[in-house]
Structure 1
Amino acid sequence: MELCTQLSYQGSLRPSKGVFFYEQADGTMKPLPIDHDAIVGQKCSYSEAYQPSGSAKNLQPQDLAFGNPVRRESCYVPPTIDTVMCRFSLRVESSSQTPFVCNSHNVAEALRHFASAYQKAGGYEVLARRYCKNLLLGNWLWRNQRSLGLKIVVNTSRGSSFEIDNALLIDWHEPWPSECKQVLDGLMAELADALSGAQPFWFADVKAHVSASFMQEIFPSQLFSDAKDGSNLSREYAKVSSGDGQLWPSLNAEKIGAAIQLIDDWWSDEADKRLRVHEYGGDKEYLIAHRMPASGIDAYSLLKTVDDKTALLESMQSSNDIPVDIHYLMAVLVKGGLFQKSRSA
Structure 2
Amino acid sequence: MATLKTASVLAFERKLDPSDALFFSVDWEDRSHSNKWQPVAVREKSVRGTISNRLKANEQDPAKLDAQIEKPNLQTVDVATLPPAADTLVARFTLRVLGGVGAPSACNNADYQEKLQQTVAGYVESNGFGVLAKRYAYNLANGRFLWRNRIGAESVEVEVRHLVDGKAQNTWTFNSLDLPLREFAYDTPAATGLDDLATVVESGLSGSAHALLEVTAFCRMGAGQEVFPSQELILDRERGSKSRTLYMVSDVAGMHSQKIGNALRTIDDWHPEAAELGPIAVEPYGSVTTQGKACRQPQQKQDFYNLLDGWVLKDKAPTLENQHYVMAVLIRGGVFGEKDS
- Counterpart of 2:127, as a letter, is G
What value does the CA root-mean-square deviation take over the aligned residues? 2.3
Three-state SS of the structure 2 residue aligned to 1:176 is coil
The match for 2:194 is 184
The match for 1:319 is none
2:200 is the counterpart of 1:197: no
Shift of 1:270: 5.1
**Native 8 Å contact 2:15 2:97 kept in 1:** yes
The match for 2:284 is 279
Determine which of 149, 170, 179 is the counterpart of 1:170: 179
Please list the CA deviations of residues 212-261 of structure 1 after superposition, one character each: whole Å capped at 9, or x if unmatched.
223221011011226646871111100000xxxxx111010110000001
The match for 2:76 is 71
Please list the CA deviations of residues 117-149 of structure 1 after superposition, one character each: whole Å capped at 9, or x if unmatched.
222223411011111111100000001012110
The match for 2:263 is 259
Three-state SS of the structure 1 residue aligned to 2:48 is strand
**Native 8 Å contact 1:117 1:310 kept in 2:** no
**Native 8 Å contact 1:95 1:334 kept in 2:** no
2:141 is the counterpart of 1:136: yes
The match for 2:219 is 210
Report the Cα distance in structure 1 between the residues aligned to 2:240 and 2:105, rounded to whole angstroms: 39
Shift of 1:324: 0.8
Farther off after superposition, 103-112 or 326-335? 103-112
Please list the CA deviations of residues 80-126 of structure 1 after superposition, one character each: whole Å capped at 9, or x if unmatched.
10222100111111132311111111111111112212222234110
Shift of 1:177: 3.1
Cα distance 1:101–1:229, how it changes in 2: closer, same or farther (>3 A)? Answer: farther
Paired residues in the alignment total 323
2:18 is the counterpart of 1:19: no
For structure 1, the residue ranges without an aligned partner over 5 or more in a row are 242-246, 314-321
The match for 2:234 is 225
The match for 1:86 is 91
**Native 8 Å contact 2:88 2:223 kept in 1:** no
Please list the CA deviations of residues 16-64 of structure 1 after superposition, one character each: whole Å capped at 9, or x if unmatched.
1001102487714321132311111011223xx42xxx54377634212
The match for 1:239 is 248
For structure 2, the residue ranges without an aligned partner over 5 or more in a row are none
Tell me which stretches of 4 or more aligned residues in structure 1 moved more than 6 Å.
Answer: 308-311
Three-state SS of the structure 2 residue aligned to 1:4 is coil
- Counterpart of 1:83, as a letter, is T
Report the Cα distance in structure 2 between the residues aligned to 1:342 and 1:175, rounded to whole angstroms: 42
- Counterpart of 1:154, as a letter, is V
**Native 8 Å contact 1:238 1:250 kept in 2:** yes
Report the Cα distance in structure 2 between the residues aligned to 1:193 and 1:73, rounded to whole angstroms: 41
2:154 is the counterpart of 1:148: yes
Same amino acid, percent of matched pairs:
27
Report the Cα distance in structure 2 between the residues aligned to 1:104 and 1:82, rounded to whole angstroms: 56
Report the Cα distance in structure 2 between the residues aligned to 1:181 and 1:143, rounded to whole angstroms: 22
Report the Cα distance in structure 1 between the residues aligned to 2:228 and 2:274, rounded to whole angstroms: 32
Determine which of 318, 330, 340 is the counterpart of 1:333: 330
For normalisation by structure 2, the TM-score amounts to: 0.88
2:171 is the counterpart of 1:161: yes
Please list the CA deviations of residues 296-334 of structure 1 after superposition, one character each: whole Å capped at 9, or x if unmatched.
111111111224897869xxxxxxxx6111011001100
Determine which of 96, 112, 132 is the counterpart of 1:107: 112
Report the Cα distance in structure 1 between the residues aligned to 2:58 and 2:305, rounded to whole angstroms: 44
Report the Cα distance in structure 1 between the residues aligned to 2:202 and 2:316, rounded to whole angstroms: 22
Report the Cα distance in structure 2 between the residues aligned to 1:323 and 1:31, rounded to whole angstroms: 45
The match for 1:317 is none
